[in-house]
Structures are given as structure tokens and as C-alpha cells.
Structure 1
């Protein structure tokens, strides 16, 4: 018994000494830090956190800003990380000195889970090669070709809202819409989520983004010990969903090649990439590699766009004057373009873009930009960031900073008018990221969002349900920025 107590005391002393020494890391480098605590450092306890990582980092951003700091040293457990506060330093990290921070610090095991080897997670030469080959998918010409496919899904959205007499669970409705859009534009499949909300595509999409304690724990462990995450095989992707998506891609490839079917969608680009590689005697991509790229198209296009539209309608329901102004633009623009919603029509909707941008400012779905320092870097103040250090930018903290956006919690689309937009400080509005790793699907996401909002608002006025609170409370267990609970809206035809 005495030996056990001695061993326990010794172990406790060693752990205490390790943490105490680790928590001096940034002070020794001359970088300001906020006092960390055992055992989570500056990261909130994932078991009891009310705001999750999103609000935790936003609060740390605010604390460093109040001290006049441009950067701040923080800790995940005993692991040192850096939070970038000043927009000029943000520019250095994501653009100017990109070569030092070209990784998203993703932790994945491609052999164990092939779908996670997608564009967002890839690094170095593999990322660059894939980025170059995938970029042509999102040109204006390709967007126009996919628009008609998108509009068919939009018609199903219209029919559903026209037929429902109940209040709108807008979060779920828009998730059905974007599931159908991505299923069709990326995989060439009709998902029919409105007629069958439990269809496989919708079911797996829901599973991938559902709130869970497991995700929060994995998120914290990724920051504390990436090696432990790998050894425990803690994957973001559900095994059942992985099998489903890989099967869909394989079956689609085989069907199109055997039947010589072509279509203006993302899957066709992957088929063309494989064919071009063969013609040039270059190594081709495996089914799993191509499935991973189709999978990230689904991840990025399905949830982020539906969430953006949900946040937007939530704000418009609480700001009827802005909603009326937007509806007027929608209907006048459609009339100008022959009474139809066309690609050129949505590109003409300038106020619509202002409204969406203000929504993204207040509610960036991807709320934190992560980077990994891939080679030792000297900061403008002379401090160094060691290779392997995780670097974060809190978009909530930056985009709700009153220095750059006065009355930051007020929904005001006029911030993004032609006259006012030029006054926005560069690198303070980054909902799609910036620099070489800016979101490749930016145009597609905006197109999808504009169509969804246009189809709802041109005929309907939305207003808050009695159950809805303002301001919004966020879900602290969600993968991306999301509301806690349902967003219920009333609707009436205008």
C-alpha cells in the first residue's frame, strides 16, 4: 500500500511539473498568454463547455484584443498553440507567408479511412496537384451548366413549401434542398429528400453533422495529441457512411463508363481527370481517391450552404424591412430576366449578396481557420513559431470585432454596399478563408444559397415562431456553427 501511494504521489508530482513547465512556453518566447489551467489549458472542458470551441476561441480573441495584443499564446492541455488576432498578421499566415502555413493541421489515417484524404485535408504536392485539377469545376461556365440541375431541386423546394400548412422547420427543409442539390450535382443522383426524408443520402448527411460529445472530445484531443487520435482511430467519418459514399462513387463510375454516359456535374470532372491521366501515361487516381474528393464536395456544399440560408432567414424574420427590400429586388430582377430565375438573374442580385455576406460575417459556418506551421517561422516582432505548432484564427472573434465592424451584433447588410465595402479592413472578413487555400467551392456555395433564398422569399414572408429566441444560442457540440435546436418560422404567401 505504501509503495502504491508513493508511486501515485511521484506520478502526480511529475505531471504537475510537466504542466507547470509547459505553461511557461509562450512567456519564455515573449508572447502574451492568458493563464491556463490544469488539465485543459485554455480550452474549455468538453464535458461541461457551454459555448464549445467556437465561443471559447472567440472569447480568447477578445481578451487578447483588449490587452492590445496582435497574437496570443494559448494551450490545449499542455500543448502550446497560437491565436492570431491582428488582421495584418492574419494576412501573413494565410497569404503572404503561406509556404510556412500550408497545412490545415488535419489528423487522418488514409489507409484506415480513405474518404478523409480529400482536398481540405491533403498537404504539400498532393494538395497542390489536386487543387489544380479540381479548380476548373468551379468556373463561371461550369456554374452555368450546373444551374439547371440545381433549379430542378429548387422546384422541389418550392413545391414542398407551397404544399405545407405547418410552420417551417427551416433548418431541416434547407438541408433537404442542399442534399438534393449536391446529390445531383456531385453524384448525378436524384435523392428526393422532400418525398423521402429518410433516404440514404439525407440519412448519412444528417449522421455526419449531428451533434455529439464524441466529436467534441476528438476535436480537443486533436489539438492536445494528434498521435493519440491516430492510435485510437478516432475518425470524423462514420464507417457506415464511408462505405455508402464509396459505393455510390464506384457504382456511378462503372455505370457511366460502361454506358458512355456524360453529365455536367462534379463526377464527370473526376472521370475526365482519370481519362486525361491515362492518355498522358500518368498515374491514375484510385476509386477511393476520387470518392474522397466527391465526399468533400458533399460535406462542403451540403451543410455550410443550408446553415447559411438558415441563419439568413432567421435574421430576415427578425428584420422585416430588410426582408421586404430583398424580396423587392428578387422579384424585380426575375421580371427583368423574362420572368424566370436564371443564372444571370441571381448574379444581378446585388442586395442579395450584401445580405448573404452580412449573414456570413455574423455566422461563419466554418468558424475557425486552422493552420499548421510546417517550418520554423519568425514573426514580425522577432518571436518564433516552431515547426509543428498549431495556429488558429477565430472568425467569430475577428468578424464580430467592433473595431472593424461597429455594432457587430447588429444585422446590417449595408456594411457590404459598394460604397461601404471598400472601407472594410482587409483580412477581417474571411468566411471562405483566403489565400491559396481559399474555399474552392465559393462560387457554387453562393449560387446555391442565392437560389434557395430567392425561391422562398419571392412568394413568402417569413416571421419568427413563438418558440424562437433572439439572439441565437449556438449548439456547442456541432461540427460547424449551428443553432441549438430547431429554427421554426411562420410563413405566409405575399
Structure 2
């Protein structure tokens, strides 16, 4: 009897303590939900279904809207002025708690998931390592592995196939050699790390959208939990083995002439980062650099296959700079002006991370009488603002000339944020752009690319944290004469 009296009182007290959330949320539109459960069941299903439902939500409620994910208040934001305030404010600097709760299982306290104090300390140590001199030294590695990619792609000439596995194997090889300083032979079929990573990300994404999986005591009884533990165990063992090998190399002075990021990290911060912290950062780089770069590379090649005239212009620029057989050097990268515009237009239409989630640590005013309240979360719809008819003429048209110098000046501020913005922007942006430029220059000289896709609108998307087509990156290749 006492429990039945106490329970309503506890619920009322809980609601009273959250009254500021309810007060501010009433000023913002959003779908109706169930008491306590909110819109919990509106975002369930497969990764494709969840993505489609999220897209519909942003289309139905543009600029700013709210949704109750169980007891959690989440705002969907796609207005550039609001994005700018959220990206730049220390109030919303911290990642949404689900990043750490679910991503932390395999990323630990890496840059993607770390709390603000940890993130500041790690970034201060890591950022200087990403200097231009170090990045320039990686171009030779990029070129070597993309040349091997060409050899693998040649086996598929004359028939349609999905680019994803070949590109992911290649970018994993590149990431492990540049970040870890170790060759792992993924392209030779000796390692299936790319499959582990893809599945780990998918399980993490599904768990974020299922409230039942939020509770550890429920999730641990599922097959997903068992599979996730096994895959994370494989990933941890892989990373730890490479770090131990690298420590032996450093202690014995047997490091290669070209130093990896791990070499530099161990030398510069042996007393600053623990072994676990270094492992977390290495796994973060492996996942963030390999999958996002591979997916973007696939989208670039699909776009070139869809637009033969643009592909021909890229080939002409490549031949002008390198000739038909010239070797690409780091000094050549800035000369690929048109190719750079192709890459920028690709990530406008297909930002690798279409959504970014942040946590509101203190009330954040967006306008007069419009506040994001403390304790809420925000989901930033980068892909929606980058495809908005309000800020882009014919937004689903693939047009690299949007990024001509005279046109860049006209881009509405914060309507183009594929790598996020503000202090917590992507640390590996230059690394990715240099790698992608090398990939394009290597592939287009050997192959003419085609695809069954006829328009951007035809490419239905999904995400497992990183965006990709629902039906794969389907292309066909012809050898150039």
C-alpha cells in the first residue's frame, strides 16, 4: 500500500525537477508522443528505416524541432544560424551522452567520445602531430596503396560490383600504416578488420535508437551484445598488438625512417598518455579515418560514373599535372583544383557523418525567447542544411563549380559544414582531403567509371553512424586505352 502512495509522489517530483525542459520544449514544434514514452517508437527498425524516419522528421519540421525520446528531450537543428551557435558555444561543446555510453565500449576516451576535459588534453597533444610536414610524408603511402587498389579493381572490369569492400580494405591499409606505422595486408585478404568495424558501428547505431538496448541489464541478454563483445575483443587485441610492436621499435631504435602518428605520439607524450589512452586514440583514428574516407571515396567514384563530363575534366586535370604515367608527389596535391571541387561537392551531398549530436550543459539562447535548455540534446542535421533549397540552387544537382573561388564567397555561412565546425571540428580533415585527391588521380587514369545510378535523388541512403547507399556503391569499370 505504501508503495502505491509513494510511487506517484516520486513521479511528480521527478517531473517537477524537469519542468524547465517541459517549459522550453512547448515553444518548439514537434510530433505528438505518448506520456513518458514520448516518440520512442517513431524511430525504430533497420538502419535504412531509421534513416528514412529521421529524414522525414527533418523535412516535416525544418530549422528547429523537438522530439521526446522517452524521457530525453532531443532537438533537431538544421538552421545555419543555430548550427553556428551550437558549434561555437562551450555550453554545447560536449558530445551527446550516447556517444560515450555506447561508442565508449570500443573507442574509450578517444577524441570522438571523450568528455570535455579529456578531449582538451588529448587534442592538445595530438593536434601538432597533424602538421603539414607529417601529412606530406604520407602521400607516398597513399599512392602505394591506391595503386594496389587499381590492381584489385582491374579484376572486376566488365561487370557491375560494389566498391565498398575494396575501398575499405585499402583505406584500412593506409590508416594502419600512416597512423600505426605497421602494414597489415588487408587488401591481400589477410585481415577482416573492415567487417568487424562495420558491424560494430551498426550495432552501436541500432542501440542508440532502441530504448530497451539503453539498459545494460537488458542488452546483455541479447545476441547483439554477445556479437558486440566478440568483435570489440578482436579490435582491442589487434590494436594492442600493434601498439606493443611499436613500443618495442621505439625502445630499440628500430623505427622506420618515415614516422607514423603513433611513433610521434609515443615520443612526444610517453608521460602524458597512458597505454589505454593511446589505444583509445588509435582505435578512434582507425575507425574514423578508414570508414569515412572509404565511404567518401566510393561516393566520389559513383558521382564520376554518373557524370561522364565531370569525369573527363578530372582526367584532363590529372594528365595535365602528372601525365599518363607520372608519379604523384605531395607538391602536386594543391594543383588539383578541379578535383578538389569534386571532393567538396561530394561531401556537400554526402557528408560522412550526416548527423552530429551534442549535449546542452547549460541553457543556450538561440534567439530572444528561444532557448535550448540545460539537460537537452541536439541532433544537428548537416545533410539537410547542405541539401536545402533555401541555401543552394538546385541542391541535388552535382556541380563542383559551386566551389569556384567567386562562388565560395556566396555560400551562406554554416550551410556547408561536412566536417562540423568550431573548436571540435574534424582533426583529420587535411589528411582525408589529401588521401582522396591521391585516390582520384590514381583511379581515373586507369579506369573509365560507370554506374547504374542516374541522379543523386535516386541514391537512397542509410547510416550506421557513417552514411552509405541502401543498395551499395554499384559501378562498372573499363580499362582506358
Measured in 2, the distance between the counterparts of 1:353 and 1:42 equals 41
Match status 1:125 vs 2:117: yes
Return closer, same or farther for 1:40/1:178 CA change in 2, 3 Å cut-off: farther
Measured in 2, the distance between the counterparts of 1:109 and 1:48 equals 21
Measured in 2, the distance between the counterparts of 1:48 and 1:115 equals 23
Partner of 1:326: 314
Measured in 1, the distance between the counterparts of 2:103 and 2:346 equals 38
Tell whether the 8 Å contact from 1:31 to 1:73 is kept in structure 2 after alignment.
no
Measured in 2, the distance between the counterparts of 1:331 and 1:138 equals 29
SS of the residue aligned with 1:210?
helix
Measured in 2, the distance between the counterparts of 1:340 and 1:467 equals 33
Report deviation, 1:159.
2.6
Tell whether the 8 Å contact from 1:43 to 1:77 is kept in structure 2 after alignment.
no
Partner of 1:90: 83
Match status 1:62 vs 2:55: no
Of 289, 293, 303, the residue aligned with 2:277 is 289
Note the aligned Cα RMSD (angstroms): 3.6
After TM superposition, the structure 1 = structure 2 runs for residues 239-254 of structure 1, keeping only pairs within 5 Å, are 239-254=233-248
After TM superposition, the structure 1 = structure 2 runs for residues 274-353 of structure 1, keeping only pairs within 5 Å, are 274-275=269-270, 277=271, 284-335=272-323, 339-353=326-340
Greater mean alpha carbon deviation, residues 111-120 or residues 141-150: 111-120
Tell whether the 8 Å contact from 2:341 to 2:401 is kept in structure 1 after alignment.
yes
Deviations 1:457-490 (A, max 9, x none): 12211012599997112235x2311112332322
Return closer, same or farther for 1:144/1:447 CA change in 2, 3 Å cut-off: same
Return closer, same or farther for 1:246/1:387 CA change in 2, 3 Å cut-off: farther
Measured in 1, the distance between the counterparts of 2:337 and 2:104 equals 46
Greater mean alpha carbon deviation, residues 391-400 or residues 255-264: 255-264
Tell whether the 8 Å contact from 2:150 to 2:446 is kept in structure 1 after alignment.
no
TM-score by length of 1: 0.84
Return closer, same or farther for 1:427/1:42 CA change in 2, 3 Å cut-off: farther
Gaps of 5+ in 1: 278-283
Partner of 2:39: 41
Aligned residues: 465
Partner of 1:423: 410
Deviations 1:310-348 (A, max 9, x none): 111112111111111111111112139x93211121221
Measured in 2, the distance between the counterparts of 1:341 and 1:401 equals 37
Of 161, 184, 187, the residue aligned with 1:191 is 184
SS of the residue aligned with 1:238?
helix
Measured in 2, the distance between the counterparts of 1:290 and 1:230 equals 30
Match status 1:101 vs 2:92: yes
Report deviation, 1:230.
9.1
